[in-house]
Amino acid sequence: MNFLLRISRFIDTLSSVIGRSVIWLIFASTLISGINAVIRKVFNYSSNAFLEVQWYLFAAAFLLAAGYTLLNNEHVRIDVVVGRFSRRVQAWVDVFGLLVFLLPLCAVVLYLGVPFFLQAWHSKEMSSNAGGLVLWPVYALIPLGFFLLLLQGLSELIKRLAFLQGLIPDPITKTAQKSAEEELAEVIRQQAEAKKRAEGAA
């Protein structure tokens, strides 16, 4: 199990690096959108390539960060019933969900997605829109994204089993840290208090 936990830590690190990197794809998509709007208004010119590259970047961010989202337990969960049980029961439910749903789904998408990508790559399939982009890069994101999600699913399975064996603490217990929004609210509150104190001293 120690060897599997080392593999799990490696996968977690990989997911973290990728997840923190793809945020730049959202920034790039926003930047391209703004440039496209300016060019369209100022020069009365537009291209489907500008629109499609935004879709590609969004698809890349969504698919490549799926494993990172799973790592941080941020996927949508409906724990109305399961949330009432002990953490050990919840861990067993997670093991069942990973083995029966997530991992098989990822395997099916890989099985179907790789040939789909290879066909588009060999045929050099282009977008049907005038001035559109070649399609195989965005098709490649499908198997790549689900492969990364599969890896993270295996990592989560290893951690749940290790937790059930008492080898590690609860893997989904988050450390008590503030979100970015909470930190911003705290900074604003401190600034407001400092301003009141300065006005009272004046």
pLDDT digits (tens, 9 = 90+) for 104-144: 999 999 999 999 999 989 998 888 777 778 889 999 999 99
**Radius of gyration over every alpha carbon of the chain, rounded to an integer in angstroms:** 23
Whether the per-residue pLDDT at 102 is higher than 90: the answer is: yes
Mean pLDDT calculated for residue range 165-185: 72
Three-class SS of residue 126?
strand
Domain borders along the chain are 2-201
* Tokens 């990197």, residue located: 21
Q: How confident is the model at residue 191 (pLDDT cuts 50, 70, 90)?
A: confident
Q: How confident is the model at residue 182 (pLDDT cuts 50, 70, 90)?
A: low
Q: How confident is the model at residue 202 (pLDDT cuts 50, 70, 90)?
A: low
pTM > 0.75: yes
Torsion sign over Cα 153, 135, 39, 46: negative
Task: Compute how many other C-beta atoms are within 10 angstroms of the C-beta atom of residue 144.
Answer: 17
Read off the tokens for 155. 């990592």
- SS percent in the chain: helix, strand, coil, step 5: 75, 0, 20
134, 126 in Cβ contact below 8 A? yes
Query: What is the C-alpha to C-alpha distance for residues 184 and 169, in angstroms, rounded to an integer?
Result: 30
pLDDT tens, residue by residue, 26-85? 999 999 989 888 988 888 887 888 888 888 999 999 999 999 999 988 877 767 777 788
